[in-house]
Structure 1
Amino acid sequence: MRKITYCIISGALYLTTFSCKKDFLEKPPSVDITEDTVFSRIRNAETFLWSTYAACIPSGFPTGWSANSSGGIVAGMLAAASDEGDIADSWPGANRFNEGQWNANDNPEDDFNAHYVAIRRTNIFMERIDDVPDAEDAYKSQLKAEAQFLRALQYFELVKRYGGVPIIDRRMLNSDELKVPRNALEDCINFIVSDCDAALPALAPNQTGFLRGRIHKGAALALKSRVLLYAASPLFNTGQPYKEASGDLVQMLCMGEVDDTRWQKAADAAKAVLDWAEAGNSRLITDQGVENNYEYAWSEPDNAEIILANKSNGWWGIYSDYFNFTMPPGVYGGWYGISVPLNFVKLYEKRTGGPQTWPASGDNINQLYAELDPRFKQSIGYNGAKWNNETGNLQIFIKPDGKPAPHGGDRGGGQWMRKFLPQAVNWSSYGTTLNWPVFRLAEFYLNYAEALNEAKGPVQEVYDAINEIRGRSGMPILSGLDQDALRTAIRNERAVELAFEEHRFWDVRRWKTAGDEGVMKGDMYGLRLKPIDGSTDFHFDQVVFESRVWDDKMYLYPFPNNEVYKQYLVQNPGW
């Protein structure tokens, strides 16, 4: 194996990267000359593939000021556009979602054309890699398989946002019909699965050391698991779309009929990931103690639980856009942070099991926080919680003079997102290494539990999977639930375990629960704390800090109008 080098060898590669920005199916006349240069040597071809990685591997960390230059959402993380989070400042992109102020001309989360720029790169690579003269066939087959996975990943990123999309499975030429219509959703799902299956034989079993971040069999199995889970879920696994539609559009929005066997296929795909892991390729973090296992899994780069991470951004400086956007006010260079609504905090059970009781007001907030699932303090910063050795304990309350404490307390949810803001970030280190987890093993225990419960009900294997996740964080095991109650427990466990990893935003869509009160719609609650004279505890009041807007048309994104106006794409309903 050759060590990955993240560089661009010439301006010609930039032409290939950006040539499709104006129209995602155009092909510039000069690209063939550039291709001949790129595919004349394996080193050039590898470099082209590494830049294709950068175009294809998603990241949830915001790095810029526009949808086509940043992970996450413009100036924030996607968590802030769901019940996981909130940004009090009005201008970041998440608030356009929460206020219903986004549309086919203005989507702060996605750049539709960029997906097809990336897909075009994968198609070029797959067609031309065999022309490279100075590489062994087995290695070229492996690289082609990596590109095929990247294509599948990009199509999944499209499908979860838009439903059925145009399938472009080859390099387009000027002589081709460039206005390719949408395919049926089922065709897209099958295409993604087919790409995963086709890539598997030539992929490395795993990648270790400096090759972490390269595609391997576990990543392909993980993508297959995720896409089949989405295909089996209520949003897609139906004959009645989420919004009224007719004709061919129906097949672009859903699978056409309810088929419960899709849940078993999703369960089998998730089990394949777990089997791959158990063969020595990955494991849950269980050796750091129940108070630290979870934090280690998200803060330690390349730990054993990470199946695939985005490695394009390694070191993050303390004044990087990411930390500016996400650190709480008063913590290093934080501008506004991501506060966590009480709606989401209520999903954390008590350490002893079962829901916490949250009265409208009280004088025992310290006790209520201390009683929560150990993952709470490893994910969320709350009043009195230690941030790190340098900052000390957070102060999030309203002072007697009515002004907020050093770390806020008068806006938003009353708690701060702490996950993905490692304790290692301080004035001495001036930053840290942090990678976005594209696939983390814990997800696939929960994928398996969810799919198998839907396929067979509360069989022992369902309990075994969910209790693996709960047990490593010291939470009591689940048992004796019927299918409906276990479904609720699994969904709750996903919210807690996968918090802030860009699952919740999509999970509530695929479950068709986004429109439920307090999820993506209606009142968002926060806590307002005030000191109690003569006590170390605080008085708290629940307050409504925001009412959010939801319309069922939002279950899928609108295609950008500049593409719809070309009259080859049928717009999603309601937009």
Structure 2
Amino acid sequence: MKSRIILMMLLLTVFASCESQLSKTPDFISEEVVFEDKNLTEAYIASIYQEMLFIDMGGEAQNNMGMIPAAGAEHINYANWQTPNSTYSRSYTAAAGAGPLDYWGYNAIRDINYLIENIGQSKSLSEAYILQKINEARFLRAYTYFQMVIRFGGVPLITKVQNVDDPYDVLYPPRAKEQEIYEFILSELDEIILTMPDLKTGAAGRIDKYTALALSSRASLYAASIGNFGTVQNDGLVGIEPGSTEGLYQKAYDTSKEIIDSGLFLLYDKHENKKVNFSQLFLDEGNDEVIFAEVFEPVVRGHSLDNLSTPAGFLSTWNSNFPVLYDIVELFDFVDGRKGTDISRDELNSSNTWDIDDFFGNRDPRFTSAVFYPESVWQGGLVYFHSSTTYTDDSGERVTVTSGTLDRNGEEWPAAAHPRNVRNTALLLRKKLDETNLEPISGRSGQDFYVFRYAETLLNFAEAAFYLGKTGEALDALNQLRDRAGMPLMTEATEANIRQERQVELAFESHRFWDLIRWRIAPKYLDKVRTKGLVFNYDMDADTYVITLKNAEGTDRSFGPERFYLPISLARIADNPSLEQNPGY
């Protein structure tokens, strides 16, 4: 049983055992008692972990697990009524607020501040243990502020528990500058890193020194990018001063390098077959690439990724929910050195036919392990995405059929794929799915979610090194990833190939949306863009496909420059009149 799940069960057990000792109502334990008992303290901080936005588990049957990739035009959701699709189809206004992308984590911050202020008064816990828990809490507070600053820019910086009799300016604090929030995050991490033991516990779901370094690496890189490519507005409520950029890139470089030089983390490379290797990376839990994971366990604390993502035609109760966009497919190059964009969209017409193994199967193994495409092998069968089959019948006529089954070299072949597989893009998310889960059930999958992994550290390092003029070091980091993937090595590091490599390596892991924003290039990919899917028509005689484009979404996406920051809702401003709205709303 995994550690954090034990803690949550312990919460219930200890609460029950303490009832007879307390002069409280039977279902309540006073906060004053918590930090006199180690088990209660562990349960208290475990409850804070549950409040963290490591991955959004909301939405219809946990469809929000795919929300950030949907916002970033990597995949969409099966139907527009599913919450992730509203992230790009809704209007963002002050009245409507941030919608499903919202996160205002002050409930967690209150609990964290309470622990930091009060655990030191314990008469029962050791000083070493108290320091460990304070460090852990300070990391979680820094992470919470990071999740808010990437959405809103500056937010109120609250580091003490608020009380009802506090002065007005304490109860209704104004927003700090965006730069002040990043500086707070980085200074908190700097301080706790100094007193955290040199132990690896992140893969088991508990914060360690390297988790703190990983967040510092990510946060400083984000801030550096905003200083480099953005502008300061509203007297600093949003934006980073350009003069801070070099120091922030240096911070990202240094913290990444400390993780690299520790020698404790390696790119996962156990399997000779590169496709198998990249698939198993996300299933072989606790491997040396994992810096920090949110831990899941089937039944006790499971999720629904397998049930949501398994293609139609297999034993999933609600399948095919994450259709992959062709726009992201084009980023994946071929193992022989061809660019993914070498196939012009104009060539995708009814006059051309394609060998499916070449069109898809010869792409970067990180693609073939991450996306279902026609005739992908899954659980001993084939996944189908074709809308029709054309063949020569017994009379010698060429016919096209869309129903029934045919004989293809002695095997049964469906004339057309299941409608759920072809409805949107005729491609589906495969990354992180467990092929051994033969009957995926909602809430019963147990793959951990990797919040930080070593591959991101190398990418952070490469990007920071590039902007610091250390292009040789950037190239080496990129080529470590390319070599692991079985792709041709690069000969130079450029801004373009650093960004492409990041999007390919971290595809569907909730990075691209935020990366496009911090690079200030999101409008190029998300504004006035009609994303694309594919239509496959199978030619049985030639064993090839006619591949044509279709619109994956009903309207163009919209992403104006105001969307680099989300609006603060009028309801939130009514609750705290000291809040100032973001520019453009």
TM-score by length of 1: 0.85
DSSP-derived class of the 1:6 partner:
helix
Structure-1 separation of matches of 2:201 and 2:441: 26
- 1:238 and 1:469 map into 2 onto residues whose CA distance is 26
Q: Pairwise mapping of residues 548-567 of structure 1 onto structure 2 (< 5 A)?
A: 548-565=557-574, 566-567=576-577
| 1:446–1:320 CA distance, 2 compared to 1 (3 A) | closer
Partner of 2:223: 231
Whichever residue aligns with residue 116 of structure 2, its letter is M
Q: Which residue of 1 aligns with 2:24?
A: none
Specify which of 542, 547, 550 is matched with residue 543 of structure 1: 550
Q: Which residue of 2 aligns with 1:20?
A: none
> What amino acid is aligned across from residue 454 of structure 2 in structure 1?
L
Name the structure 2 match of 1:204.
197
The yes-or-no answer on 1:82 pairing with 2:84 is no
**Equivalent in 484, 487, 495 of residue 495 of structure 2:** 487
C-alpha distance in structure 2 between counterparts of 1:530 and 1:374, whole Å: 24
* Aligned position for 1:267: 253
Q: Distance in 2 between matches of 1:191 and 1:493?
A: 30
Q: Indicate yes or no: 2:317 matched with 1:304.
A: no
Residue 473 (structure 2) pairs with residue 473 (structure 1): no
User: What is the deviation of 1:12?
Assistant: 12
CA 1:342–1:365: 2 relative to 1, 3 Å: farther
Using the TM superposition, give the Cα deviation of residue 135 of structure 1 relative to its aligned residue in structure 2, in angstroms.
2.1
1:98 aligns with 2:110: no
Structure with higher helix content: 2
1:140 to 130, 151, 155: 130
Q: Which residue of 2 aligns with 1:23?
A: none
Q: 2:46 aligns with which of 44, 50, 71?
A: 50
RMSD of aligned alpha carbons: 2.8
In structure 1, what is the Cα distance between the partners aligned to 2:559 and 2:182? 27
8 Å CA contact 1:452–1:462 kept in 2: the answer is yes
Paired amino acid for 1:304: D
Q: Give, in whole Å, the separation in 2 of the partners of 1:265 and 1:319.
A: 36
Deviation at 1:11, TM superposition (A): 12
Of 266, 290, 315, 2:298 maps to 315
* Match for residue 521 of structure 2 among 486, 497, 513: 513
Aligned partners of 1:239 and 1:256 also within 8 Å: no
Structure 1 segments unaligned to the other structure (5+ residues): 14-31
Shift of 1:139: 1.4
Residue of 270, 273, 276 corresponding to 1:292 = 276
1:257-406 equivalences under 5 Å are 257-261=242-246, 262-276=248-262, 278=263, 281-289=264-272, 290-311=274-295, 313-315=296-298, 321-331=304-314, 332-356=316-340, 357-358=342-343, 359-361=347-349, 362-366=352-356, 367-389=358-380, 392-399=381-388, 400-402=400-402, 404-406=416-418
Is residue 255 from structure 1 mapped to residue 257 from structure 2 by the alignment? no
Instruction: Return closer, same or farther for 1:305/1:39 CA change in 2, 3 Å cut-off.
Output: same
Distance 1:282 1:320, change over 3 A: closer
Structure 2 CA distance for partners of 1:316 and 1:161, relative to 1, 3 Å: farther
Post-superposition offset of 1:480: 3.8
Instruction: Give the structure 1 partner of residue 395 of structure 2.
Output: none
1:322 is displaced (CA, Å) by 4.1
The answer to whether the aligner puts 1:194 opposite 2:187 as a matched pair is: yes
Aligned counterparts of 2:171 and 2:302: Cα–Cα separation in 1: 43
Alpha-carbon distance in structure 2 between the residues aligned to 1:319 and 1:263: 38
Confirm or deny that 1:454 pairs with 2:467.
yes
Aligned positions, number: 530
TM-score under structure 2 length normalisation? 0.84
From the superposition, tell whether residues 157 and 168 of structure 1 become closer, same or farther in structure 2 (CA, over 3 Å): same
> 1:93 touches 1:108 (CA, 8 Å); kept in 2?
no
Distance 2:376 2:447 in 1: 22
Q: Which has the larger radius of gyration?
A: 2
Give 5+ residue unaligned stretches, structure 2. Answer: 16-27, 389-399, 404-415
* Pair 1:8–1:335, CA change in 2 (3 A): same
CA distance in 1, matches of 2:67, 2:432: 11
Q: Does structure 1 conserve the Cα–Cα contact (< 8 Å) formed by 2:98 and 2:568? A: no
Whether 2:579 is the aligned partner of 1:569: answer yes
